[in-house]
Structure 1
């Protein structure tokens, strides 16, 4: 195990081909890195673990697995314990990433692996091929692009820009702004408490749940898609009502708007 003194948040760069990367960000004054082979009985995994590069200087930690060749592949497990609100830059092949805790700015490049992050308080920039991306909380700006991978955000309190071919986007709770552009990918919003939804899709589905206490302003246009609106007409916001603005453009995709009684608009 490698141990470094880090009294403040650091910058971490991880490059992993195959295996798994686990980060745990907590209130601590050091950073620990542990590398293990995925399978201790596999020569390729053992070789890969022995050749992982770990370097720390000037507040920057770099952890990278060796490049694959025809003769050696290898899958490793990388565990990093680091200070909360550190910055993260990860490039993944088929490796999976799990980042627990709170992070500052985050950049992700995911090919076929899956990535899951607890909370991003700074900027998030992510790109995915077929791998999925899941974030519990986004407080700042996020830009996510995917080919066929799925993206899930549990709570969006900032701004999200999403681009996809067939990849889908799902948001549990929105208290911010989301702008999406998809070909056949769907956009599912469970509870739009307040903010703006600007969704353009060729054939993807758009579904928005609206909690009690939130008024909605519509601007929906579709070609051959079906629009289903299960909200009751109203004159406008009343009292302390939150407001959700919907701009939806769809070619052949269906649009569904419904009241979500299970969601509450409380902050």
Structure 2
């Protein structure tokens, strides 16, 4: 079990094929890496764990799984656990491995084939792309750029800017205090509580649903070709004193658009 003294946040670069990756970021002064075969009775899993490389130098941790091209490559799946300091930066390349990253990270970047990725909190930038795997993040306080072919993307609290691109993949944002720009072919876009900022959603056939809390005045620019637009907001002459403001633009070819008041319990924080 490699252990390194890391009194400051580090940069971690992870390359994993199959299996599971678990990151735990806490207030600590060291970094601990543990690599295990997913199934200790499986020869290929044991081989994969034995051929996983762990290196640390000048604040940079590199964990590289066994790759095709190695002599007697046998594939296999590993369980990788890393405990590291809070606000570290992570760069991860995943084939089919799942990843769970708990805690707060400064920056987080990942590429995933078919695995599931979950991240706790990102204070800076998060950038991710997946083919068919799903992705979720609890809190983003900076900038996010997320893309998927067919996976589902979920963001809890967004206090920043998000750019989202997808074919049939969907986007769900629980609480927005910032900006969302999304482009999808057939994927749906849902913002449960858009407190303030701007939402721009362009889709071919996907549905768009936006909840707007009481106390938020919205300017709407919405159109759809053959879909149905449902607007449950009452018209007003403009924002009242103390109101938050939201700009909503939706362009859809054949998808439905639903704009409604968000229930009070869906708005988190102030």
- What TM-score, normalized to structure 2? 0.96
Residue pair 2:175, 2:267 contacting (<8 A) in 1 also? no
Work out whether 1:46 is the aligned partner of 2:76.
Answer: no
| 8 A contact 2:86–2:104 mirrored in 1 | yes
TM-superposition CA deviations, 1:26-67 (whole Å, max 9, x none): 111100000111111111111111111000011100001101
Contact in 2 for aligned 1:212/1:264 (Cα 8 Å): no
Structure 1 residues 93-123: Cα deviation after superposition (integer angstroms, max 9, x where no partner): 1100000000011111011001000001111
Query: What's the counterpart of residue 181 of structure 1?
Result: 183
Give the secondary structure class of the aligned counterpart of 2:151.
Answer: coil
**1:147 aligned to which of 146, 149, 152:** 149
Find the aligned partners of 2:13 and 2:263 in 1 and give their Cα distance: 43
Deviation at 1:235, TM superposition (A): 1.6
Task: Please tell me whether the aligned partners of residues 9 and 86 of structure 1 are also in contact (alpha carbons under 8 angstroms).
Answer: yes
Does the 8 Å contact 1:213/1:265 carry over to 2?
A: no
Aligned to 1:10: 10
Alignment partners' CA distance in 2, 1:162 and 1:106: 16
Mapping 1:63-78, distance limit 5 Å:
63-68=63-68, 72-78=74-80
Q: Are the structure 2 counterparts of residues 176 and 49 from structure 1 closer, same or farther at C-alpha, using a change threshold of 3 Å?
A: same
Q: Secondary structure at the match of 2:45?
A: helix
Distance 1:72 1:59 in 2: 32
Take 2:185 and 2:80, find their aligned partners in 1: how far apart are those partners? 36
CA distance in 2: counterparts of 1:208 and 1:24, whole angstroms: 33
Identify the residue that residue 205 of structure 2 maps to in structure 1.
Answer: 203
Displacement over 2 Å in runs of 4+: 68-71, 261-266
**Which shows bigger deviation, 233-242 or 117-126?**
233-242
Q: Is the 1:19–1:75 contact (alpha carbons within 8 Å) kept by the matching residues of 2?
A: yes
1:1-267 equivalences under 5 Å are 1-68=1-68, 72-262=74-264, 263-264=266-267, 267=270
Distance 1:76 1:220, change over 3 A: same
**Structure 2: distance between partners of 1:265 and 1:192:** 11
Q: Distance in 1 between matches of 2:139 and 2:27?
A: 19
1:147-185: per-residue Cα shift (whole Å, max 9, x none)?
001100001000000000000000000000000000000
Question: CA 1:57/1:265 → structure 2, altered by over 3 Å: closer, same or farther?
Answer: closer
Indicate conservation of the 8 Å contact 2:175/2:268, yes or no. no
- Judged with a 3 Å threshold, the aligned counterparts in structure 2 of structure 1 residues 135 and 264 are, in CA distance, closer, same or farther, namely closer
Q: CA deviation at 1:264?
A: 3.8
Structure 2 spans left out of the alignment, 5+ residues: none
Render the CA deviation track for 1:186-225: whole Å, top value 9, x for unaligned: 0011000111001100000000011111111100121111
Residues 52/154 of structure 1: CA separation in 2 closer, same or farther (3 Å cut): same
Distance of 1:244 and 1:265 partners within structure 2: 17
Please identify, of 257-266 and 138-147, the stretch whose mean Cα deviation from structure 2 is larger.
257-266
Unaligned runs of 5+ in 1: none
Count of paired positions? 267
